[in-house]
Amino acid sequence: MKRTVFLGLFLLSLNALQAEDGYRLWLRYDLIGNKALLQQYRSTLTAVIFPATTPMLAAARQELLTGLRGLLGVTPRSSGTNSTLIVRLQDDPLLGSEGFAIRTTSQKNILLTASTDKGILYGVFRFLRLLQMQEPINRLDITSTPSLPYRILDHWDNLNRRVERGYAGLSLWDWFTLPTYKDQRYTDYARANASIGINGTVLNNVNASPYILTPDWLEKAASLADIFRPYGIRVYLSVRFSSPIDIGGLKTADPLDPAVREWWRKKADEIYRLIPDFGGFLVKANSEGQPGPQNYGRTHADGANMLAEALDPHQGIVIWRAFVYSNETPEDRARQAYTEFKPLDGQFHKNVLVQVKNGPIDFQPREPFHPLFGAMPHTPLLLEVQLTQEYLGFSSHLVYLAPLFEECLDADTHLNGTVSQTIQGIAGVANIGNDRNWCGHIFAQANWYAFGRLAWESGGAAAPYSAAIATEWIKQTFTNKPSVIDSIKQMMMASREITVDYMTPLGLHHIMAYEHHYGPGPWLANATRADWNPVYYHKADTAGIGFDRTTTGSNALEQYAPGARAQWANADSCPDQWLLWWHHVSWNHRMHTGRTLWAELCRKYYAGVDSVRWMQRCWTALRPAIDPERWQQVNMRLAIQEKNAVEWRNACLLYFQTFSRQPLPEAAERPDHTLEYYKQHIIYYAPGTNQ
Amino acid sequence: MKRTVFLGLFLLSLNALQAEDGYRLWLRYDLIGNKALLQQYRSTLTAVIFPATTPMLAAARQELLTGLRGLLGVTPRSSGTNSTLIVRLQDDPLLGSEGFAIRTTSQKNILLTASTDKGILYGVFRFLRLLQMQEPINRLDITSTPSLPYRILDHWDNLNRRVERGYAGLSLWDWFTLPTYKDQRYTDYARANASIGINGTVLNNVNASPYILTPDWLEKAASLADIFRPYGIRVYLSVRFSSPIDIGGLKTADPLDPAVREWWRKKADEIYRLIPDFGGFLVKANSEGQPGPQNYGRTHADGANMLAEALDPHQGIVIWRAFVYSNETPEDRARQAYTEFKPLDGQFHKNVLVQVKNGPIDFQPREPFHPLFGAMPHTPLLLEVQLTQEYLGFSSHLVYLAPLFEECLDADTHLNGTVSQTIQGIAGVANIGNDRNWCGHIFAQANWYAFGRLAWESGGAAAPYSAAIATEWIKQTFTNKPSVIDSIKQMMMASREITVDYMTPLGLHHIMAYEHHYGPGPWLANATRADWNPVYYHKADTAGIGFDRTTTGSNALEQYAPGARAQWANADSCPDQWLLWWHHVSWNHRMHTGRTLWAELCRKYYAGVDSVRWMQRCWTALRPAIDPERWQQVNMRLAIQEKNAVEWRNACLLYFQTFSRQPLPEAAERPDHTLEYYKQHIIYYAPGTNQ
């Protein structure tokens, strides 16, 4: 034993030589530094009994042994009668198809059981998390099942490897060298997802190329599916509704045309021959220029049901996006999805799920929950959130998104409970690319992590989760030292509200610059359609600012249940954070803080910048506690965030000041440029667009 | 000492745990496994005396200590009187501004000297290479100076991070987060270049965006220049000739217009304020749609000289590309650069260099040397070669390019000696991207390595170099085990000829598919211009095949000196490898092997495929000698190469057979598809294009 401990210490010091570039995510498995605890773990885990008879069990077993070897610095024996971890299938209806149990037995063994291979897989990752978080393992009694059956990443990855709204390099999928070249990252991606319970991945952009359904590309997709399968991840594809025309040689894509229906049936059969557990299709139809059933005078339900019938024999599903807004309809864009989809409730085939964004506009720093949640009782819904920070500073800004997701999940629909109670799953628009650290920003990894964890836990009684999940992530990613955890957690938990403050406080939304959505552009007014213009959303004039969505305005409010409406309907009682979303109010409107709207707006923008600087100070203080490479990475990104926050504040306040005609707060930092400068300062070649 | 050795052994075993993903290139610095040699090195290098008073010397010193710590597993003392490595500046005119000397002194010290910081830097890398190659260091007497002053990488990187003809992911330059975020890879890129003597880098594509010259982008370029400066690398930029119009608000870019000249002068001044050692401009003008002086009735010399005058006060240079071919001129494309540039010899300003591709067409698997070499005695020339394998299987094929480069460098111009004797430097179109292993294919790293080494050594007496450079690269990248080195070297040295065989044997050229140039497309005939069509180049008909460039044809031959012409002019004496470049000959033409042309063509295509399979067998046999991760990477790429080689062979032979009307060799492997299949098989979204 002495020799082993000695080796272990060497391992520790040498792991420190490894490049800390963020690649290992939250699956580091470094030797446990706390010697007493290490000794305890070692004596509790002298052996592992884990018969692995399937590829999934083999993957779980390999992960377990890799993890234990790293964390404990020893390889447990493969047989034992006590102090043994026993992993085995054992039928238990309460655990369902994905749950697991981990219990300390009377013989001082640890028993990890599940009814399915997948439950075992998730249980193994859960067990490794216990060790990574340095929790006691001598009296375990854990049972865990997921809240939601569908926990899916949506990759907006184009077939040319550009990622729409991607800020972490190219697509992970090197389509050109697939199916032959199988990058190690594909496996590591699957491991990371399995570790947080993600069980599906849509490989390609919802703005889909029809070529994804050609034989060459299906073979590539099948190659990825083969790699992901042992990790419990099903592959889905986004499809273009006009594919029967584009690649099938048909003259129409009319969903009621028999030849079209036949084409999709045959295509589904072809796919399932290659990918027997294929998940299904994700469809963006009749939205932002994409073709759809309305091109043929048919409804969304007609289109979705045709695909559903093709997939049904294979147990596949159709995920049909509710993110639609017509070029013609002049009404408030916030109303459009509800207007189109609410009447279709009950008309969809049973294997169709409708995917609804968290808010009615488009992934803003803050939006009220989407009115369709709770309003489609006969239609299974998926919640769509965005991990990639299209409107939140890309991967340059530290913004922990779990509080945003949780705000939506916990919102009371006043119809069928909270949003989380109205859905069958969550889809997260991935923030992953081929950057070495996967997400561009080390802290953006936390959004990937939190997404999976929230999808697993959201329905339970232990909410709020955001802070607890942050703790998990920090412990596994950085350190188990309590003071460091606290400090990082404070930064993370504050970060979303800070971003709202320096970008879009008090209910403002969609005032970002055109196309790339990176910096401020509240003055923009000449887009090809009105509702792509910031001025459409803030409606600032000399009388005041804000979008009146009450009965005196667009009345988007009427799409919500009375109980939900009540909180927002009156400008005087509406919480400050939602005010300008629902109301157009005067610059001197009295806020709940007692300040005028203008004064509060100034306070928020200044507080946003000050708080970024506070994050910088926190991070500087953490320098001794973090490895130099990752510390430096984050430090440089915080410098970008600070610069951008100042630009946001100055540009927005100088612009809104032209309407409010009131001064900036005395003694506050003066803008270092004129409004004209900000208007002229164009960002060329921002990532995430098709430039 | 005992303890140190022990630690050293642990270091070795733990380095094996490091992910062998190719990131470390040829700068691995792993502990030397040969114990006797390690002991010898340690006793010869007990101390290092290296005063470092400048950033460049500090970088060199840090590299030296990092290298020694890794290779020897110990840190040498910083003082000593014998067994000491002494590094110091010492004026020696023979070493010039970049050379160095390394000598064992009578006191059994090693003295590394140079006249400049840069010489020291190169000397340090040379010394580390000695250790990495496990050469004796007890009686050193090395003096080294570069053959050519300009050793430059040209990045065809667009500002949106797409790399034109790039097959290793996105551009290394993450422009969006520059200048604030300084990726560690920027430094590692500079180290790798410095280690092989590369002293310049053109950051952006020759098809240049004008925005590169806006203040934001110059600041980004300056940030990179700051990182590269201690490694002796000067930054150059590609510029768009119409920039004064595009971003300067002028109405013209006429090089004789005073306002235009003034605009460039001011722009140069602005650049040098940010980058005091800025290298200069690279220009692609009046070629493939790029604007240039001819738009205003001026000559290439007029355009180049205007820029040269703007840069001259700052000691900057203009690199003007000779790769031009007009849309209008109907003559043989191979003739055009010579026709345009030869008459301009003597008209360029002294700080203009004309950059000429190795062959007269465009980076084919084999081309004769460009007729401009030796033909411009009054104009300094740069040779442009392509490391990225646009026409050589991208980064999917193992093709060691040094023999191709060397074939050109050693070609006798019959005017002023060999090509290497007619040039001032070499520019290599980079094959580097943000893929973890830098180049996509581990073996593509060898082309980067060999480029730098050839540029340093090309003029010397020790040619041929390709094999020696391969040995260097293998020893530093893989192993010092002789049998393994031999085996890998055999693969590398054969690989270029193998590729010629399965793609374009016997002088064939440019028969690749449109746009991406990846697979075969000899049947293609409907491009927007004649000389983008494969049929233009092979001219196959029932009478025969090949491009008659002799006096009976385009007479491109006349652009060469008589001595050069003589080897190619006659179809009967022309070496087989050049035959179809120069001559249109009958299918039954008797080759030097005694076979008919058709039989020889078949033999070559079949040999190409067979030889790829031979490479696969070699690599399989090497499995025990290579770490699993890199072995697997290469193995999967070889599988792609084999598949592609079969496609090339089958498609080309089936197509040419429609003209030759002769059978394929009996008993040979039959094509597994019809010609029609190959014609229909389109590759969508190939990398390297702007799709």
Q: Is the CA virtual torsion B324, B329, B334, B336 positive or negative?
A: negative
Mean pLDDT for chain B? 95
Question: Chain A partners of B176 at a C-beta cutoff of 8 Å?
Answer: 394, 396, 685-687
Smallest CA-to-CA distance from A361 within A554, A575, A606 is with: A554
Number of domains into which chain B is organized:
3
Among the partner-chain residues A159, A636, A686, the one whose CB lies closest to the CB of B181 is: A636
Residues of B with active-site annotation: 288, 362, 390
Same domain, A521 and A634: yes
CA distance, residue A655 to nearest chain B CA (Å): 23
**Chain B: closest CA distance from residue A493 (Å):** 24
Q: Are residues B216 and B124 in the same domain?
A: no
Residues in chain A within 8 Å Cβ distance of B175: 685
Q: Do A33 and A163 reside in the same domain of the chain? A: no
Domain edge (last residue) among A91, A114, A144: A144
H/E stretch holding A227: helix A215-228
Encode burial over B637-648: b for 16+ CB neighbours within 10 A, e otherwise: bbebbbebbbbb
pLDDT at B4: 36
What is the pLDDT averaged over residues A124-138? 97
**B214: chain A residues, CB-CB within 8 Å:** 684
pLDDT at A5: 34
Over residues A46-56, the mean pLDDT reads 97
Nearest CA in chain B to A690: B160
- CA nearest to A435 within chain B: B434
pLDDT at A459 over 80: no
Tell which wins on pLDDT, B691 or B75: B75
- pLDDT band of residue A222 (cuts 50, 70, 90) is very high
Average pLDDT, chain A: 95
Residue A471 CA from chain centroid, whole number: 18
Give the residue among B404, B61, B76, B113 at the shortest CA–CA distance from B231: B61
Among the listed residues B44, B52, B43, B132, the one whose alpha carbon sits nearest the alpha carbon of residue B87: B52
CA-to-CA distance for B239 and B277, rounded, in angstroms? 17
Q: Length of chain B in residues, anyone?
A: 691
Confidence of residue B2 (pLDDT cuts 50, 70, 90): very low
Q: With CB atoms and an 8 Å threshold, state whether A636 touches B10.
A: no
At B160-178, the pLDDT tens digits run 999 999 999 999 999 999 9
Whether residues B639 and A180 touch (CB distance < 8 A) is answered with yes
Which residues of A touch chain B, with CB atoms under 8 Å apart? 10-11, 14, 17-18, 21, 158-161, 169-170, 175-177, 180-182, 184, 209, 211, 214, 216-217, 394, 396, 434-436, 629, 636-637, 639-640, 643, 684-687, 691
> Is the four-CA dihedral B521, B526, B528, B531 of positive or negative sign?
positive
Residues of A in contact with B180 (CB under 8 A): 636, 639-640, 643
Rounded to the nearest angstrom, the minimum Cα separation between B505 and chain A is 25
**Dihedral pair phi/psi, residue B281, rounded to 5°:** -105, 140
Does the beta-carbon distance from B21 to A691 stay under 8 Å? no
Q: How far apart are the first and last CA of chain B?
A: 60
Q: Which pLDDT score is estimated for B463?
A: 59
Q: Do A306 and A299 form a contact (C-beta atoms < 8 A)?
A: no
Q: Which of A135, A269, A270, A288 is catalytic?
A: A288
Distance CA A385, CA A380 (A): 17
Task: Tell me how close the Cα of A397 comes to any Cα of chain B, in angstroms.
Answer: 11
Predicted confidence (pLDDT) per residue in A368-395, tens digit: 999 999 999 999 999 999 999 999 999 9
CATH code for position B242? 3.20.20.80
Which chain B positions have a beta carbon within 8 Å of A685's beta carbon? 158-161, 175-176, 209, 211
Q: Are residues B117 and B190 in the same domain?
A: no
Please tell me the distance in Å from A157's CA to the nearest CA on chain B.
13
- At B665, which CATH number? 3.90.1330.10
pLDDT at B263: 98
For chain A, percent of residues with pLDDT exceeding 90: 93
Q: How far apart are CA A50 and CA A62, in angstroms?
A: 10
A160 lies in the same domain as A113: no
Residue B68 sits in which domain range?
Answer: 22-144
Strand partners for A596: A590
Report the residue from A211, A396, A434 with minimal CB separation from B169.
Answer: A434
Would you say residue A180 lies in a domain? yes
Nearest to A223 by CA among A272, A159, A180: A180
Confidence of residue A183 (pLDDT cuts 50, 70, 90): very high
Are A21 and B640 inside 8 Å of each other by CB? no
CA A466/CA A404 separation, integer angstroms: 9
Report which of residues A197 and B11 the model is more confident about: A197
DSSP string for residues in B351-389: TEEEEEESSSSSS-SS-PPPTTTTT-TTS-EEEEEE-S-
Query: Alpha-carbon distance A383 to B389, whole Å?
Result: 45
* Closest by Cβ to A686, choosing from B176, B637, B684: B176
pLDDT digits (tens, 9 = 90+) for A507-550: 999 999 999 999 999 999 999 888 899 999 999 999 999 999 99
Q: Per-residue pLDDT for A290 more than 70?
A: yes
Q: What is the CATH number of the domain that holds B53?
A: 3.30.379.10
Q: A136: cis peptide before it, omega within 30°? A: no
Q: Quick: pLDDT tens for B558-570.
A: 999 999 999 999 9
Min Cα separation B214/chain A (Å): 10
Do A428 and A546 fall into the same domain? no
pLDDT in tens, B489-533: 999 999 999 999 999 999 999 999 999 999 999 999 999 888 899
Closest CB to B685: pick one of A159, A169, A685.
A159
Could you tell me if residue A572 is inside a domain?
A: yes
Instruction: Give yes or no for a contact between A226 and A188, defined as CB atoms under 8 angstroms apart.
Output: no
Residue in B with minimal Cα distance to A7: B10
Residues B377 and B515 occupy one common structural domain:
no
CA gap B560, B85 in Å, rounded:
51
The secondary structure element, H or E, covering residue B650 is helix B628-660
Query: Cβ contact (<8 Å) for A435 and B434?
Result: yes
pLDDT, tens digit, 9 for 90 and up, residues B56-100: 999 999 999 999 999 999 999 999 889 999 999 999 999 999 999
The one catalytic residue among A312, A362, A406, A407: A362
pLDDT digits (tens, 9 = 90+) for A15-36: 334 579 999 999 999 999 999 9
Beta bridge partners of B150: B425
pLDDT tens figures, A614-626: 999 999 999 999 9
Does B559 reside within a domain? yes
Contact B161 A687 (CB under 8 A): yes
The whole-number pLDDT of residue B74 equals 95
Instruction: Tell me if B34 is assigned to some domain.
Output: yes
Q: Which residues of B touch A (CB under 8 A)?
A: 10-11, 14, 17-18, 21, 158-161, 169-170, 175-177, 180-182, 184, 209, 211, 214, 216-217, 394, 396, 434-436, 629, 636-637, 639-640, 643, 684-687, 691
Per-residue CA distances from A195 to A29, A70, A342, A479, B256 (Å)? 13, 16, 36, 18, 66
- DSSP 8-state secondary structure symbol assigned to residue A208: -
| pLDDT for the residue numbered B326 | 72
Residue whose pair of structure tokens reads 């790029």 in the numeric block: B290
Among candidate residues A130, A26, A67, A157, the one with its CA nearest the CA of residue A444 = A26
Measured between beta carbons, the chain A residues lying within 8 angstroms of B631 are none
Domain boundary, last residue among B144, B169, B199: B144
Chain B residue numbers touching A165 (CB-CB < 8 A): none
Whether the predicted pLDDT of B180 surpasses 60: yes
- Final residue of a structural domain among A129, A144, A159: A144
pLDDT band per the 50, 70, 90 thresholds, residue B459: low
Mutation target for B interface from A7, A165, A177: give the one with most B CBs within 10 A: A177
User: pLDDT tens-digit profile of A554-575?
Assistant: 999 999 999 999 999 999 999 9
pLDDT value at position A7? 36
Q: Which of B502, B458, B527 is nearest to B610 (CA)?
A: B502
Cβ distance B685 to A211 less than 8 Å, yes or no, reads yes
Q: How far is B83 from chain A (nearest CA, A)?
A: 29
Residues sharing a CB contact under 8 Å with residue A421, sequence separation 6 or more, in sequence order: A459
Residues A433-458 pLDDT 10s: 999 999 999 999 999 999 999 999 88
For residues B177 and A518, the answer to whether their CB atoms sit within 8 Å is no
User: How much is the pLDDT for B329?
Assistant: 63
B417 Cβ neighbours under 8 A, 6+ residues apart:
B374
The predicted-structure confidence for A644-659, as pLDDT tens digits, reads as follows 999 999 999 999 999 9
> Could you say which of A18, A636, A684 has the minimum Cβ distance to residue B211?
A684
Kindly list the distances between the CA atom of residue B478 and the CA atoms of A358, B473, B622, B635, in Å, as whole numbers in the listed order.
52, 8, 11, 15
Nearest to B182 among A181, A636, A691 (CB): A636
Chain segment B88-139, per-residue pLDDT in tens: 999 999 999 999 999 999 999 999 999 999 999 999 999 999 999 999 999 9
User: Is A313 found in the same domain as A329?
Assistant: yes
User: Residue A691 above 80 pLDDT?
Assistant: no
- Does a structural domain hold residue B326? yes
What is the pLDDT, as a whole number, of residue A528? Answer: 86
State whether B456 and B545 are in the same domain: no
For B676, other C-beta atoms within 10 Å of its C-beta total 9
| pTM metric for this prediction | 0.96
- Closest Cα of chain A to B230: distance in Å? 20
Contact B629 A184 (CB under 8 A): yes
- Starting at the earlier edge strand, list the strands of the sheet with A110-114: A47-49, A84-89, A110-114, A100-104, A141-144
Residue A329 has pLDDT above 90, yes or no: no
Mutate to test the interface with A, among B176, B243, B435, B442 (most CBs of A within 10 A): B176
- pLDDT of residue B425 exceeding 60, the answer is yes
Chain B residues inside the 8 Å CB shell of A227: none
Answer for the pair B419, B428: CB distance below 8 angstroms, yes or no: no
Query: Is residue B18 predicted with pLDDT exceeding 80?
Result: no
Does residue B484 lie in a domain region? no
Q: Is residue B209, in this structure, part of any structural domain at all?
A: yes
Q: Which tokens in the block code for residue B86? A: 């002494």
Contact (Cβ atoms closer than 8 angstroms) between residue B615 and residue B638? yes
Q: Is the peptide bond before B179 cis (omega within 30 degrees of 0)?
A: yes
Residues of chain A positioned with their CB less than 8 A from the CB of B164: none
pLDDT-based confidence at A223, cuts 50/70/90?
very high
Report the percentage of chain B scoring pLDDT > 90: 93
On the question of pLDDT at B14 being above 80, the answer is no
pLDDT for res A462: 60
Residue B460 confidence class, pLDDT cut points 50, 70, 90: low
Per residue in B306-351, pLDDT (tens digit) is 999 999 999 999 999 999 877 676 689 999 999 999 999 999 999 9
Task: Pick A160's closest partner by Cβ from B158, B182, B691.
Answer: B691
B117 and B177 in a single domain? The answer is: no
Question: What is the per-residue pLDDT across A396-412, written as a single tens digit (0 to 9) for each?
Answer: 999 999 999 999 999 99
Same domain, B670 and B592: yes
Element (H, E) at B320: strand B317-321
A355/chain B closest Cα distance in angstroms: 29
Q: pLDDT tens digit string along A258-268? A: 999 999 999 99
Interchain pair A211, B396: CB under 8 A: no
Residue pLDDT, tens place only, B579-604: 999 999 999 999 999 999 999 999 99
| Whether B572 and B637 share a structural domain | yes
In a domain, B486, yes or no: no
